[in-house]
Structures are given as C-alpha cells and as structure tokens.
Amino acid sequence: MEGCLITKKIEIDMGHRVPNHKGKCKNPHGHRYIFEVSVDGNLIKKKGDSSEGMIIDFSDLKKVMIDYIDRPYDHSFMFYYEDKLGEFWRKFKGQLKIHYVDFIPTVENIAKHVFKILKEPLEKNRIKLKSLRVWETPTCSAIYYES
C-alpha cells in the first residue's frame, strides 16, 4: 500500500497555565506555538484543474488552519475551566480573548483538542487528518493521531 502525506505549519502566540504543575509552568505564560498538520487523501486527477496531482493545495489547507487555529487562538489565553486563577479573568469576558477548556492545557491536550476541531472541516473535503503536531518550544512537541 502506498500513500503520500502532506504537511503544513502555521505559528501562533498563545498563553496558558498548567495549574497543578510542580514547576514554573503553574504560572501564566505564553509560547510561540507551531501547529504542523499532516493529511492524506486521493490525488486530484481532474485534467487542467489548478490542483491536479495534489491531495489538497497548500493554500487551501492553510485557509482551514487559519480559520480554525489562527483566528480563534492567536493572541489568546487558554485556561482550564476549573482553574481558580481563571475565575479572575472571567470579568473580562468579551474584552479579552480567553478560552476556557475542559482539560488542563498541556501541549498534549491542546494537540488533541485542535485535532478534533480540524477533523470535520477537512473530512468534508475528503481529506484525512493523519496527525497534528504542536510545538510548544523549539525542542518540545506533542503529536496527536487516531489509529
């Protein structure tokens, strides 16, 4: 069986806090996250089509990533909804870009969360989301995939 994966990256700035962390990650802080999306699908065979020979045009993949990752999450802060520190920020709802999530916002959980968000819009275009890698630092990342 043969196949081909294509991968696209985008970068955003986002803050988070790991409330139970034994070290400094319990403090509010931010990262320059890199989201690396790998997809596969059937090659487009329509003669003369702009995307002939491609799984998806990189610009079309980028648009999905911008719509579902960059627009909602760039320059925002992610809090676990049970985080006591997050309660302070609730009074700024509507004024600040804060996301309350039902998980501790570790890089592993962020990767899983965003994978689930991207899966449906890609599948509508017959594109299979294979993996989502999230780089939290230049040397630390998590890869989420479904087997």
Domains along the sequence of the chain with CATH: 6-144 (3.30.479.10)
Task: Report the alpha-carbon distance of residue 66 to residue 12 in Å, rounded.
Answer: 10
How crowded is residue 129: how many other Cβ atoms within 10 Å of its Cβ?
22
The mean pLDDT of 18-47, rounded to a whole number, is: 94
Task: Report the alpha-carbon distance of residue 32 to residue 15 in Å, rounded.
Answer: 9
Q: Which two tokens stand for residue 11?
A: 């970068």
In the chain, pLDDT over 90 holds for what percent of residues? 78
- In which band, very low, low, confident or very high, does the pLDDT at 2 lie, cut at 50, 70 and 90? low
Pairing of strands 76-80, 6-16: parallel
pLDDT at position 132 over 80:
yes
Quote the pLDDT of residue 89: 84
pLDDT at position 1 over 60:
no
Task: Report the alpha-carbon distance of residue 129 to residue 143 in Å, rounded.
Answer: 12
